[in-house]
């Protein structure tokens, strides 16, 4: 069946596809992988995911390359990270093989929704795991459902790769110092909605959170990691409250390959005055370059991109990573899974 979707106009939103895939853990084991055409789930009203937030998720993309082949980017890393998140919330880790098989199945079943190469769009896969055992007392579930749904999403920069402004706000924290920030938990997003809303109202694309303990170091940039370029080095915060971004991990490798020194360390707020580039990074955008960072509490405005344009390191990394995802650049690290 063909589509008549205007791929280049797709937003980053939900667009229905034909199938999703599911697997349930019950009686101490994972059951068969099931294919569903339903967009809803039927769960108990007392399920732990609904009451006590036992919900974790992932996000990854499949791309149609210039050669027509479909590639899924670094899905094994997403599988491993979902397992870390599961352990963090006492949930049942999904075996890597089941995760990978389900990703491939989901892409194949929905192949007609994988956008053409020229559109710059992609198929976004959203795996999620929920506790489904009914509980009223606070305790982890015994049963879990793991689902992979997908939706085609448009290019992140429909009007071209460009900078946005962000802000620092001390009024809210996304996570606690030794809390759930290092895991991909739905509740972390719930905790960040208020701050994000306020930033958007003030005209910023995201909040640059500070470390929740001392409010001294840079942490994450909304739902993305943060990096900067200082004296030609790629610097990115290291902290227990940061979700380890697979995009950031990939950019660090590519920077290293390009001969750029990489430092994972604490970065103080004042250091922003000395960086030549800064960006948020994650699956959605790869790199989202930052023009200016306004500290709402001190009134200091850090002008990062003085000419308003993405810097050379960010541009090179962005092109390189996208090139690998679309099969234009050699995949020397074996990051792509090609769907046969």
Ligand X SMILES: *Cc1c(COP(=O)(O)O)cnc(C)c1O
CB proximity list for 43: less than 8 A, separation 6 or greater: 49, 50, 130, 132, 145
Strand ranges (E), 119-230: 122-131, 144-153, 164-168, 206-210, 218-221, 225-230
Smallest gap from Cβ 37 to ligand X, in A, equals 28
Of 133 and 288, the one with the shorter C-beta distance to ligand X is: 288
- Tokens 């430092």 map to which residue? 263
Tell me: does residue 223 bind ligand X (CB under 6 A): yes
Of 114 and 207, the one with the shorter C-beta distance to ligand X is: 207
Tell me: does residue 86 bind ligand X (CB under 6 A): no
| Binding segment (CB under 6 A) for ligand X, from list 44-52, 65-73, 216-224, 324-332 | 216-224
**x/- site string to ligand X, residues 161 to 200, per CB under 6 A?**
-----------------------x----------------
Tell me: does residue 247 bind ligand X (CB under 6 A): yes
Backbone angles phi, psi at 153, to 5 degrees: -125, 145
Per the CB < 8 A criterion, the answer to whether 264 and 256 are in contact is no
Structure tokens at 316: 């090179």
Smallest gap from Cβ 55 to ligand X, in A, equals 13
Q: Is 251 exposed, middle or buried (0-12, 13-18, 19+ CB in 10 A)?
A: buried
Of 284 and 296, the one with the shorter C-beta distance to ligand X is: 284
Of 25 and 179, the one with the shorter C-beta distance to ligand X is: 179
Contacts to ligand X from residues 56-85, by CB under 6 A: 59
Q: Which of 243, 272, 287, 293 lies at the binding interface for ligand X (CB under 6 A)?
A: 243
CB proximity list for 228: less than 8 A, separation 6 or greater: 235, 236, 267, 271, 272, 275, 277, 278, 279, 304
Smallest gap from Cβ 49 to ligand X, in A, equals 17
How many residues contact ligand X, by CB under 6 A?
13
Site residues for ligand X per CB under 6 A: 59, 184, 220, 223-225, 243, 245-248, 282-283
């Amino acid at each position: 069946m063909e589509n008549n979707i205007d791929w280049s106009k797709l937003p980053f939103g939900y667009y229905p596809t034909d199938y999703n895939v599911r697997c349930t853990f019950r009686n101490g084991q994972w059951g068969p992988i099931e294919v569903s055409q339903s967009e809803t789930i039927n769960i108990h009203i007392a399920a732990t995911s609904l009451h006590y937030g036992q919900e974790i998720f992932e996000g990854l993309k499949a791309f149609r390359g210039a050669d027509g082949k479909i590639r899924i980017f670094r899905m094994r890393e997403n599988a491993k990270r979902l397992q870390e998140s599961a352990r963090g919330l006492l949930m049942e880790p999904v075996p890597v093989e089941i995760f990978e098989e389900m990703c491939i199945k989901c892409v194949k079943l929905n192949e007609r929704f994988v956008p053409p190469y020229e559109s710059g769009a992609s198929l976004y896969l959203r795996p999620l795991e929920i506790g489904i055992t009914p509980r009223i007392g606070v305790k982890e579930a015994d049963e879990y459902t793991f689902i992979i749904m997908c939706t085609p999403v448009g290019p992140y920069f429909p009007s071209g790769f460009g900078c946005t402004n962000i802000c620092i706000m001390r009024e809210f924290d996304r996570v606690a110092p030794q809390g759930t920030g290092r895991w991909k938990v739905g509740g972390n997003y719930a905790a960040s909605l208020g701050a994000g809303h306020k930033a958007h109202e003030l005209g910023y694309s995201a909040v640059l959170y500070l470390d929740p303990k001392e409010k001294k170091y840079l942490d994450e940039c909304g739902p993305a990691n943060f990096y900067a370029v200082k004296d030609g080095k790629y610097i990115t915060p290291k902290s227990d409250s940061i979700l380890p971004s697979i995009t950031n991990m990939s950019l660090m490798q590519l920077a290293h390959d390009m001969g750029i020194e990489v430092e994972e360390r604490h970065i103080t707020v004042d250091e922003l005055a000395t960086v030549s580039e800064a960006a948020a990074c994650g699956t959605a955008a790869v790199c989202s370059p930052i023009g200016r960072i306004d500290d709402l509490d001190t009134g200091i405005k850090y002008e990062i991109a003085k000419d308003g344009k993405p810097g050379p390191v960010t541009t090179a990394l962005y092109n390189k990573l996208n090139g690998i995802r679309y099969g234009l650049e050699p995949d020397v690290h074996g990051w792509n899974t090609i769907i046969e």
